[in-house]
């Protein structure tokens, strides 16, 4: 055996030496890029720094005019009437809603199919958002569905596939009255003055906390912290009184505390995340999260953890680590920030009685705390996109189904069952949602956050082609900062990589 | 028969041979050779996120990808992962197989238990270890304490790869156990008997009879485990998502992972995949050529 180990070790050492000698220290994104294959302008300059106050000034003049709707695939609503005369038009709908969410969607689709005989919707679960995106991107028109649900971070990616009938075309042709739809939810899916997709399921981050621990620590269980400063104070009070080991549990997941929340926090402070008005007046060329607001924000979060007000639970790849910290029997945390879409599942979990000492009534929900405590939120969740080139009747049928899904009645049922924010304001006045909101105000917190969002450009989140990848870079910075790194340095590194991702994406696009 | 006649005859047989090989050639061509050639071609291109519009970015893309920070780090992670999992997995597999290679009552039960992880998918094994190691509700976290409690073995840069390796070793143990058990059963009993007569003790018999006779089996298991280690994906995806801070971003995770920065960049993904193929090819050749000389195949 010993004779076999030695060559293996020698090989390993040789391999390591070889690698060290081979390494260029450059990013994989630059591979083969001298000279760059396209002449796309790359506006990121070496050593570029963010000047304080620059965040509201676009760094490049808007280069895209509002896109004329006529230049995009049209929507012919009348085509459905003709086709439906010969029997129902079948459409395929891909979605990424798992577990209870998926079952509720199945129920609604069944209800729709039973209620009319013009459109027959076939529902296909793709395994999650990421899988839906991958499969949609890699398929050609024939293999794509007629209707697809896409998460909020894919707006630019979807627009660039040039594969959709914008819902605006259908809204115009059908004379659809969109006044009931929440304006901020609509705006999230509009760029270049085109309404690309219809919001369907809206969520945003909220604060989950343990009221029992608040009471034990002498804090008011009905007044959760609103600012980051209060978040730290509450946490330290909880720790010093021994009510719990930790205050707030932070994670650094790309779609949670590391990436998504950073977008939320900057928006709450009225700051853009990327240049050209978050990429909505022209394609973004660089991110702005390494500016003074971002640095101040993450320094504040670092302080909360460093001074005992909170605990860092890691990158939360499963999405459950931060919640499970509240259920920790020996060293629990008392608060965490997570998506409002989890509320239904969390309550169900608690109701099961698996966690000793926490009952359904002990779980409190408050607005997401921010640097200054300003209300408001960016639209999270997903929207519905109609695929072009699959037939006029199919596109019109998809729109008819969309209209059904976002109607006040269905949004009321959907939101009551899942905890999502209804995208139709009328849903709040209807049962079952009305009684849910009255009986359990915790479900209303996310809705109120949307309703209180100021109508300013920064309230529309960033649209970047590689937004998911950019979130990963921000999350990596967050992880380093939580482990004690210098916030400015970590954010600058992340921003440099994010800018390289944006430049690379823009050079590959079309 | 003259040489000419033989050669003529060989050529006469060629169409028949080709016809008989055709089914496997078609399958091999469609599902292995063509995709491989496509991947190799794609690796020098840059494509838009749909992968439909590609243009050449020069064949030096391969060299630059190999030398890039991300590839080198992922290569290091993958290499260390293989170094952790293969020797330990082999040693444990041999140990369990030797223990269970006794003609005792109830041994069937233990053999079933030891080989049971073969029937466990990577996803199930990973979820099980995820909950065992979870710092808040995991059974192991409270026992071990320290880093296992905060931030957790899977969330500490220093321990994450080890923790994933433990899960992977456990999941692959059934395979090694079965292969080694089969190898043990093919060792003729008279070798043990003559060793016993010569006065060899238990350890002597193990090191001078069992291990050498297991040579071919261990070579096979070693090559398969190494190639599995280099291609592991599910463990990384489910346990760590490539984190913390890239410390478990293996080559496969760099290619497929949701948290990979090249996830919608099929040209670069293909380049990494082809390089992984090349690395594995060289490694398997080295293993087979280097170890084969010491392997005793018996007669």
Query: Which residues in chain A have their CB less than 8 angstroms from residue B151's CB?
Result: 312-314
**Region of poorest pLDDT, from A38-52, A458-472, B134-148, B247-261:** A38-52
Q: Cβ distance A62 to A280 under 8 Å?
A: no
Do A153 and A91 share a domain, yes or no?
A: yes
Q: Taking CB atoms and an 8 Å limit, are A469 and B61 in contact across chains? A: no
* Percent of chain A as helix, strand, coil, to the nearest 5: 50, 15, 40
From the CA atom positions of chain B, what is the Rg in Å? Answer: 24
Q: Cβ distance A445 to A426 under 8 Å?
A: no
Output the pLDDT for position B161: 95
Segments of A105-197 assigned E as strands: 119-125, 147-151, 164-165, 190-191, 194-195
Q: Taking CB atoms and an 8 Å limit, are A161 and B49 in contact across chains? A: yes
Cα–Cα distance measured from residue A328 to residue A306, given in angstroms and rounded to the nearest whole number = 20
At A80 the three-state DSSP class reads: helix
Residue of A nearest to B46 (CA): A508
The arithmetic mean of pLDDT across residues A113-128, rounded, is: 95
Q: Which of A1, A315, A465 sits opposite B241 (nearest CB)?
A: A315
Q: Enumerate the β-bridge partners of residue A386.
A: A147, A165
Q: Which of A4, A332, A505 sits opposite B291 (nearest CB)?
A: A4
Cα–Cα distance measured from residue A340 to residue B268, given in angstroms and rounded to the nearest whole number = 36
Cα–Cα distance measured from residue A16 to residue B78, given in angstroms and rounded to the nearest whole number = 12
DSSP string, A469-485: HHHHHHHHHHHHHHTT-
The arithmetic mean of pLDDT across residues B275-292, rounded, is: 87
Residue of A nearest to B207 (CA): A1
Do A108 and A166 share a domain, yes or no?
A: yes
Output the pLDDT for position A6: 52
Q: Which of B244, B258, B272 sits opposite A314 (nearest CB)?
A: B244
Do A315 and A265 share a domain, yes or no?
A: yes
At B285 the three-state DSSP class reads: helix
Do A137 and A233 share a domain, yes or no?
A: no
Q: Which of B229, B223, B230 is nearest to B272 (CA)?
A: B230
Helix-helix angle A408-418:A392-405, to 10 degrees: 60
Q: Cβ distance B249 to B228 under 8 Å?
A: no
- Confidence tier at A165 by pLDDT (50, 70, 90): very high
Cα–Cα distance measured from residue A276 to residue A498, given in angstroms and rounded to the nearest whole number = 15
- Confidence tier at A31 by pLDDT (50, 70, 90): confident
Query: Which residues in chain B have their CB less than 8 angstroms from residue A8's CB?
Result: 83, 87
Which are the contacts of B270, defined by CB distance < 8 A and separation ≥ 6?
Answer: B39, B40, B42, B43, B45
What percent of chain B has a predicted confidence (pLDDT) above 90?
Answer: 57
Q: Cβ distance A146 to A393 under 8 Å?
A: no
Do A105 and A249 share a domain, yes or no?
A: no
Q: Which of B49, B56, B258 sits opposite A157 (nearest CB)?
A: B49
Do A139 and A112 share a domain, yes or no?
A: yes
Q: Calculate the alpha carbon distances from B41 to A34, A109, B33, B56, B137 in Å.
A: 19, 43, 12, 9, 48
Would the pLDDT of A5 be above 50?
Answer: no
Backbone angles phi, psi at A398, to 5 degrees: -60, -40
A119 located within any domain: yes
The arithmetic mean of pLDDT across residues A219-236, rounded, is: 95
Structural domains of chain A, count: 2
- Confidence tier at A3 by pLDDT (50, 70, 90): very low
A490 located within any domain: yes
Do A277 and A362 share a domain, yes or no?
A: yes
Output the pLDDT for position B267: 94
Residue of A nearest to B283 (CA): A11
Upstream peptide bond of A432 is cis (omega within 30 degrees of 0): yes
pLDDT digits (tens, 9 = 90+) for A387-445: 999 999 999 999 999 999 999 999 999 999 888 999 999 999 999 999 999 999 999 99
Question: What average pLDDT does the structure give for chain B?
Answer: 90
Q: Which of A23, A29, A508 sits opposite B67 (nearest CB)?
A: A23
Q: Go through B189-202 and write b for each residue having 16 or more CB atoms within 10 A of its CB, e for each that does not.
A: eebeeebeeeebee
pLDDT digits (tens, 9 = 90+) for B7-18: 777 788 889 999
The arithmetic mean of pLDDT across residues B203-217, rounded, is: 89
Would the pLDDT of A266 be above 70?
Answer: yes
The arithmetic mean of pLDDT across residues B124-142, rounded, is: 89
Output the pLDDT for position A429: 95
Backbone angles phi, psi at B54, to 5 degrees: -120, 150
The whole-angstrom distance between B101's CA and the closest CA on chain A is 21
Query: Which residues in chain A have their CB less than 8 angstroms from residue B52's CB?
Result: 140
Do A111 and A229 share a domain, yes or no?
A: no
Task: Provide the CATH topology of domain B68-292.
Answer: MetI-like fold (1.10.3720)
Query: Which residues in chain B have their CB less than 8 angstroms from residue A510's CB?
Result: 48, 53
Output the pLDDT for position A196: 96
Do A343 and A385 share a domain, yes or no?
A: no
Question: Where does residue A472 rank: exposed (0-12), middle (13-18), buried (19+ CB within 10 A)?
Answer: buried
The arithmetic mean of pLDDT across residues A441-462, rounded, is: 93
Cα–Cα distance measured from residue A417 to residue A104, given in angstroms and rounded to the nearest whole number = 7
A399 membership: H or E segment, kind and range: helix A392-405
- Confidence tier at A41 by pLDDT (50, 70, 90): very low
Output the pLDDT for position A64: 57
Cα–Cα distance measured from residue A25 to residue B68, given in angstroms and rounded to the nearest whole number = 6
pLDDT digits (tens, 9 = 90+) for B88-123: 999 999 999 999 988 788 888 989 999 999 888 899
Q: Which of B276, B239, B243, B275 is nearest to B259 (CA)?
A: B243
Which are the contacts of B97, defined by CB distance < 8 A and separation ≥ 6?
Answer: B114, B176, B177, B180, B181, B183, B184
Q: Output the domain CATH number for residue A366.
A: 3.40.190.10
Do A491 and A368 share a domain, yes or no?
A: yes
Indicate the pTM of the whole model.
0.88
Do A309 and A396 share a domain, yes or no?
A: no
A388 located within any domain: yes
Which are the contacts of B139, defined by CB distance < 8 A and separation ≥ 6?
Answer: B132
- Confidence tier at A7 by pLDDT (50, 70, 90): low
pLDDT digits (tens, 9 = 90+) for B288-299: 887 776 666 654
Would the pLDDT of A316 be above 60?
Answer: yes
Query: Which residues in chain B have their CB less than 8 angstroms from residue A317's CB?
Result: 238-241, 243
At A388 the three-state DSSP class reads: coil
Do A328 and A471 share a domain, yes or no?
A: yes
Residue span of the structural domain in which A432 resides: 69-203+379-458
Output the pLDDT for position B56: 92
Output the pLDDT for position A34: 64
Backbone CA torsion sign across B274, B276, B278, B280: negative
Output the pLDDT for position A260: 95
């Amino acid at each position: 055996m010993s004779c076999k180990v030695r060559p293996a070790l020698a090989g390993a050492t040789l391999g390591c030496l070889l690698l060290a000698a081979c390494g260029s220290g450059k990013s994989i994104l630059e591979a083969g890029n001298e000279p760059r294959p396209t002449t796309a302008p790359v506006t990121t300059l070496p050593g570029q720094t963010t000047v304080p106050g620059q965040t509201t000034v676009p760094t490049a003049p808007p280069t895209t005019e509002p896109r004329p709707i006529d230049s995009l695939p049209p929507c012919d609503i009348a085509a459905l009437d003709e086709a439906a005369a010969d029997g129902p038009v079948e459409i395929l709908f891909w979605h990424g809603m798992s577990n209870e969410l998926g079952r509720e969607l199945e129920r609604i689709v069944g209800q729709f199919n039973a209620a009319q005989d013009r459109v027959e919707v076939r529902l296909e679960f793709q395994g999650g958002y990421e899988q839906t995106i991958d499969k949609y991107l890699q398929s050609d028109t024939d293999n794509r569905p007629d209707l697809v649900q896409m998460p909020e971070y894919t707006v630019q990616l979807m627009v660039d596939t040039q594969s959709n009938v914008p819902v605006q075309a259908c809204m115009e042709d059908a004379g659809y009255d969109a006044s009931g739809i929440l304006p901020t939810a609509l705006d999230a899916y509009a760029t270049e003055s085109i309404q690309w997709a219809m919001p369907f399921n809206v969520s945003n981050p909220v604060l989950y906390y343990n009221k029992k621990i608040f009471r034990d620590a002498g804090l008011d269980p009905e007044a959760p912290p609103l600012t980051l400063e209060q978040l730290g104070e509450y946490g330290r009070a909880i720790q010093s009184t021994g009510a719990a080991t930790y205050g707030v549990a932070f994670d650094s997941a790309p779609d949670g505390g590391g990436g998504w929340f950073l977008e939320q926090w900057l928006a709450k402070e009225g700051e853009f995340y990327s240049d050209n008005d978050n990429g909505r007046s022209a394609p973004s060329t660089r991110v702005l999260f390494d500016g003074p607001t971002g640095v101040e924000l993450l320094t504040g979060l670092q302080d909360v953890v460093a001074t005992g007000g909170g605990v860092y639970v890691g990158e939360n790849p499963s999405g459950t680590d931060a919640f499970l910290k509240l259920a920790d029997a020996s060293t629990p945390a008392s608060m965490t920030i997570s998506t409002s879409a989890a509320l239904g599942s969390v309550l169900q979990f608690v109701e099961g009685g698996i966690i000793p000492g926490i009952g359904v009534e002990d779980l409190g929900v408050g607005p997401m705390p921010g640097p200054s405590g300003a209300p408001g939120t960016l639209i999270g969740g997903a929207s519905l996109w109609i695929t072009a080139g699959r037939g006029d009747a199919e596109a019109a049928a998809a729109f008819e189904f969309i209209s059904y899904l976002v109607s006040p009645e269905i949004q009321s049922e959907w939101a009551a069952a899942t905890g999502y924010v209804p995208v139709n304001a009328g849903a709040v006045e209807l049962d079952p949602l009305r009684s849910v909101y009255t009986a359990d105000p915790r479900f209303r917190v996310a809705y109120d956050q949307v309703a209180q969002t100021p109508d300013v450009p920064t309230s529309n989140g960033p649209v970047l082609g590689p937004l998911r990848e950019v979130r990963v870079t921000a999350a990596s910075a967050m992880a380093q900062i939580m482990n004690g790194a210098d916030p400015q340095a970590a954010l600058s590194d992340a921003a440099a990589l994010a800018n390289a991702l944006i430049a690379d994406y823009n050079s590959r696009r079309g | 028969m003259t040489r000419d006649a033989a050669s003529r005859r060989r050529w006469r047989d060629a169409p028949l041979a080709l016809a008989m090989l055709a089914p496997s050639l078609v399958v091999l061509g469609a599902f292995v050779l063509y995709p491989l050639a496509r991947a190799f071609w794609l690796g020098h291109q840059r494509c838009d996120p749909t992968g439909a519009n590609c243009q050449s970015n020069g064949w030096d893309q391969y060299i630059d990808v190999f030398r890039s920070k991300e590839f080198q780090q992922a290569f290091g992670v993958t290499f260390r992962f293989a170094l952790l999992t293969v020797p330990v997995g082999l040693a444990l597999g041999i140990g369990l197989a030797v223990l269970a290679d006794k003609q005792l009552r109830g041994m069937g039960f233990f053999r079933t238990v030891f080989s049971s992880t073969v029937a466990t998918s990577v996803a199930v094994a990973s979820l099980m270890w995820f909950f065992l190691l979870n710092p808040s509700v995991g059974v192991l976290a409270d026992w071990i304490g320290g880093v296992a409690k905060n931030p957790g073995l899977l969330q500490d840069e220093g321990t994450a790869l080890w923790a994933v390796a433990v899960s992977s070793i456990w999941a692959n143990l059934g395979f090694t156990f079965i292969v080694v058990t089969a190898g043990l059963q093919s060792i003729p009993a008279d070798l043990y008997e003559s060793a016993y007569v010569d006065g060899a003790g238990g350890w002597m018999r193990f090191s001078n009879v069992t291990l050498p006779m297991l040579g071919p089996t261990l070579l096979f298991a070693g090559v398969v485990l190494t190639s599995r280690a280099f291609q592991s994906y599910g463990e990384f995806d489910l346990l760590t998502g490539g984190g913390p801070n890239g410390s478990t971003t293996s080559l496969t995770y760099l290619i497929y992972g949701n948290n990979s920065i090249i996830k919608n960049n099929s040209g670069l993904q293909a380049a990494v995949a082809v390089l992984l193929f090349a690395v594995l090819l060289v490694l398997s050749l080295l293993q087979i050529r280097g170890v084969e000389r010491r392997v005793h195949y018996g007669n």
